[in-house]
Amino acid sequence: MAKLFGSETYARLSNQGMQIMGGYGYSLEYDMQRHFRDSRIITVSAGSSQMQRTVISRAMGLKVV
Ligand SMILES: Cc1cc2nc3c(=O)[nH]c(=O)nc-3n(C[C@H](O)[C@H](O)[C@H](O)COP(=O)(O)OP(=O)(O)OC[C@H]3O[C@@H](n4cnc5c(N)ncnc54)[C@H](O)[C@@H]3O)c2cc1C
């Protein structure tokens, strides 16, 4: 749950950061582009968000189709 919440929060906030910084956020001169890339891959690696939701649902005893 912590991984799912943390990674999705990081992705959402870095997406907002990109929007706030505009073109500068995309530039390699600023760390924003790194946060944007890092936050996206964290929702895929070490158990994607979809897989995390499946595991959590099973642990809660919910039926997973
Ligand atoms: C930078 C990086 C580092 C990594 N490090 C490691 C590591 O140290 N150790 C390790 O073991 N692996 C590592 N991986 C592999 C990582 O765990 C896999 O990329 C991840 O499990 C997704 O598998 P996949 O890339 O084959 O995508 P796929 O399995 O093809 O999935 C593609 C998409 O389909 C979704 N999907 C797949 N199956 C289901 C399902 N049953 N239900 C719902 N949605 C589904 C996924 O959520 C994903 O969004 C790393 C990957 C990256 C990119």
Please state the pTM of the whole predicted model: 0.86
Surface-to-core class of residue 7, CB atoms within 10 Å of its CB (0-12 exposed, 13-18 middle, 19+ buried)? buried
Provide φ and ψ at 43, rounded to 5°.
-80, -5
- Alpha carbon distance 28, 17 (integer Å): 15
Domains of the chain: 2-59 (1.20.140.10)
Q: Ligand 1 — pocket residues by CB below 6 A? A: 41, 44-46, 48, 50-51, 54
Render pLDDT for 4-61 as a digit per residue (tens, 0 to 9): 999 999 999 999 999 999 999 999 999 999 999 999 999 999 999 999 999 999 999 9
The confidence score (pLDDT) of residue 65 equals: 81
Contact between 37 and 23 (Cβ < 8 Å): no
From 8, 34, 38, 50, the mutation candidate for ligand 1 (largest count of ligand atoms within 8 A of CB) is 50
